[in-house]
Amino acid sequence: MEGPVRVLVINPGSTSTKIACFDTSERIMERCIPHSSDTLGTFSSMVEQLPFRRESILTALREHAVPLSSLAAVVGRGGLLHSVVGGTYVVNQRMIDDLRAGVSGDHASNLGGILAAEIAEQSAPGIPAFIVDPVVVDELVDEARPSGIPEIPRVSIFHALNQKAVARRFAGEIGRVYEELALVVAHMGGGITVGSHLNGRVIDVNDGLNGEGPFTPERSGGIAALKLIDMCFSGTADRTDVRLKVKGKGGLTAYLGTNDAREVVGRIENGDTEARRIYRAMAWQVAREIGAAAAVLGRRPDAVILTGGLAWDDVITGWITDLVDWIAEVRRYPGEDEMTALAEGAIRVLTGVEEAREYRGSDGQD
């Protein structure tokens, strides 16, 4: 395509719908459309929210004078689908059916692909709808799948969109392509996932959603299994209590009563030695996970990349860098710019840099 490529990005959340419009790399508008809990409470399911959310998006586009006819593509946040390899996927009917059915869980992000398809259909004929690198990206090598208990195989659920986006950004900055690099990428936010990226695939990554890896601002991370079993059967905690200790009220929250790293750093600056001890322990565990992720690459990484919300913090990134910079150069890409990452995935396809993938659902990966 010649000239700017205009892409609409849709990112549905539990209480809002974020949209942005890009002319290739230039963001020309962005809007976070809030949805009150009273309004959303009138819908009995996530899918029933579709007409309401679609109309709110169309209204916002009219208010910002962005005609549907000006769009070259619409891209939505990928939802909980069957496992796929990384890439940009065309929203096809099989994907829409699986998102509506919630085949891997019910989440607001499931609406992203469906909304993208519906709005693309109202635009000029033939306008494609895409999703990019959903959380269910699974590129694990066979050696990474056994857990030690056959009934509980390791799975790949991680911050795929941001991890792959910053890996590609780093590759562009050094004049190389992602598909030829070896990288360790640590996304650090409420959850922490550390991926081993080799030649464009994430061959191993901790399952941060279900408890693997470092402890985080609100998750316990990997803990001694037998001791957890003892707690479960001790009679002192029910199923809900234990699940919250692992996810929601673990990590920094359990030790320090907050999941806000800024508050923790403030306490450290005011001389709180316990806050320093626990925060440094989290950095230590992230560094240990980075070392493990580097070990399975089979060669020296081209870089260690720190990203996510915690990457803004000089304290924790400084500690981690001091521990791992002997492995490779450490680069920081703070934050998680999901809107840009989604737009970039669509634009790579529209400009011929990458081919769009076809979602096959339960029949297997593309």
Residues 204 and 352 occupy one common structural domain:
no
**54-76 per-position pLDDT tens digit:** 999 999 999 999 999 999 999 99
Residues 225 and 266 occupy one common structural domain:
yes
In degrees and rounded to multiples of 5, residue 248 shows phi and psi of 125, -45
Q: How many domains does the chain have?
A: 2
324 in a domain, yes or no? yes
pTM of the model: 0.89
Residues 175 and 117 occupy one common structural domain:
no
Query: Contact 187/215 with Cβ under 8 angstroms?
Result: no
Q: Which residues contact 278 (CB under 8 A, 6 or more apart)?
A: 252, 255, 256, 264
Q: What pLDDT does residue 211 have? A: 86
Q: What pLDDT does residue 336 have? A: 84
Looking at residue 282, which CATH number applies to its domain?
3.30.420.40
Q: What pLDDT does residue 21 have? A: 96
Residues 114 and 229 occupy one common structural domain:
no
- Tell me the residue range of the domain where 298 lies: 160-335
Per-residue pLDDT band for 224 (boundaries 50, 70, 90) equals very high
211 in a domain, yes or no? yes
**183-220 per-position pLDDT tens digit:** 999 999 999 999 999 999 999 999 988 889 999 999 99
107 in a domain, yes or no? yes
Beta-strand pair 6-12/16-23: antiparallel
Q: What pLDDT does residue 252 have? A: 96
